[in-house]
Amino acid sequence: MAKHVLLCPPAHFDVVDQKNPYMSKNSGVDRAKAQRQWQALCSALEEAGCQVETITPAPGLEDMVFAANQVFVGFHEGVGKFIVPSRMVHASRQREVPFYVDWFRQRGYQIIEVDLGAEHLEGHGDLLWHPDWSRIYAGYGFRSTQAGVEKFRDAMSELGIPVVPLRLVDPYCYHLDTCFCPLNNEAVLVYPGAYAPESLATLRGFWKRVHELSADETHKFTGNGIVANGRYLTPHLTPHLETILREEGLTPVTVETSEFEKAGGSLFCMKAFLP
Least distance in angstroms from the C-beta of 169 to ligand ARG: 16
For residue 175, indicate whether it is catalytic.
Answer: yes
Q: Within positions 246 to 275, which residues make up the interface with ligand ARG, using CB under 6 A?
A: 263-265, 269
For residue 42, indicate whether it is catalytic.
Answer: no
Which one is catalytic: 120, 124, 175, 236?
175
Confirm or reject binding of residue 20 to ligand ARG (CB under 6 A).
Answer: yes
CA distance 44 to 19: 28
Least distance in angstroms from the C-beta of 226 to ligand ARG: 12
Least distance in angstroms from the C-beta of 77 to ligand ARG: 27
Instruction: Report how many residues bind ligand ARG under the rule CB under 6 A.
Output: 15
Confirm or reject binding of residue 145 to ligand ARG (CB under 6 A).
Answer: no
Task: Extract the runs of DSSP E, i.e. beta strands, from the chain.
Answer: 4-7, 51-54, 71-76, 80-85, 110-111, 127-129, 136-140, 163-167, 180-182, 187-190, 209-212, 226-228, 231-234, 251-254, 272-274
Least distance in angstroms from the C-beta of 99 to ligand ARG: 15
Confirm or reject binding of residue 93 to ligand ARG (CB under 6 A).
Answer: yes
CA distance 89 to 92: 9
The helix/strand/coil state of 256 is coil
Which of 85, 125, 165, 223 is the binder for ligand ARG (CB under 6 A)?
Answer: 125
CA distance 235 to 218: 11
CB 71 within 8 A of CB 101: yes
The residues, any chain, with a CB within 8 Å of residue 103's CB and separated by 6 or more, are: 6, 55
The residues, any chain, with a CB within 8 Å of residue 67's CB and separated by 6 or more, are: 6, 7, 8, 55, 100, 269, 270, 271, 272
Confirm or reject binding of residue 219 to ligand ARG (CB under 6 A).
Answer: no
Q: Within positions 154 to 193, which residues make up the interface with ligand ARG, using CB under 6 A?
A: 175, 177-178
Element (H, E) at 132: none
Nearer to ligand ARG, 70 or 199 (CB): 70
Q: Within positions 49 to 68, which residues make up the interface with ligand ARG, using CB under 6 A?
A: 63, 66, 68
Amino acid identity at 53: E
CA distance 196 to 192: 9
Residue 251 has a CB neighbour count (10 Å cut-off) of 12
Confirm or reject binding of residue 69 to ligand ARG (CB under 6 A).
Answer: yes
Confirm or reject binding of residue 71 to ligand ARG (CB under 6 A).
Answer: no
Nearer to ligand ARG, 30 or 247 (CB): 30
Nearer to ligand ARG, 143 or 246 (CB): 143
Least distance in angstroms from the C-beta of 206 to ligand ARG: 21
Nearer to ligand ARG, 65 or 101 (CB): 65
CA distance 126 to 262: 20
Cα 90 off chain centre by? 17
Nearer to ligand ARG, 19 or 211 (CB): 19
Catalytic residues: 175, 269
Binding residues (CB under 6 A) for ligand ARG: these are 19-20, 63, 66, 68-69, 93, 125, 175, 177-178, 263-265, 269
